[in-house]
A = this chain, B = another copy of it.
């Protein structure tokens, strides 16, 4: 897994031309790499949310408090990982990301923050031992994820 960094002269151009959009010190990865990384974060959120937490809340698999706590903690970390990959330079890479992401960055950020806040509440609840509250909050998180997908991701 070798990471390819852009040559310094390209970074210079991007930084020089990119006024108004916050590029962090690590945003030198190529657009296709950024897309792959943000998709990886979504894939893993799916592993723990759609594969573990939601089916527990829906009664499709047995509820396990330790597994729920573990999955929620992982989900919280993962929910912080995709966003720096949504930079305008990735618009030409094929993905399910809608142009609205770059046209309404404030709204996109709000949607991220709402999902993250609900996930943080879920993590707190998994420490409470209150199974019903955990299950209810899992469904709240589901809505927050879906709200963002509805506005900013192609229909799947």
Contact = CB atoms under 8 A, between A and B. Distances in A.
Contact of A69 (B5, B16, B67, B72): B16
A73 B17 contact: yes
Interface stretch (A74-82, A97-105, A128-136): A74-82
Contacts of A9: 76-77, 80, 120, 123
Nearest to A26: B52
Nearest to A153: B1
A44 B77 CA distance: 12
A150 to B, nearest CB: 13
A64 B25 contact: yes
Interface string A38-52: 011111111100111
Contacts of A1: 42-43, 45-46, 50, 156
B46 A3 contact: yes
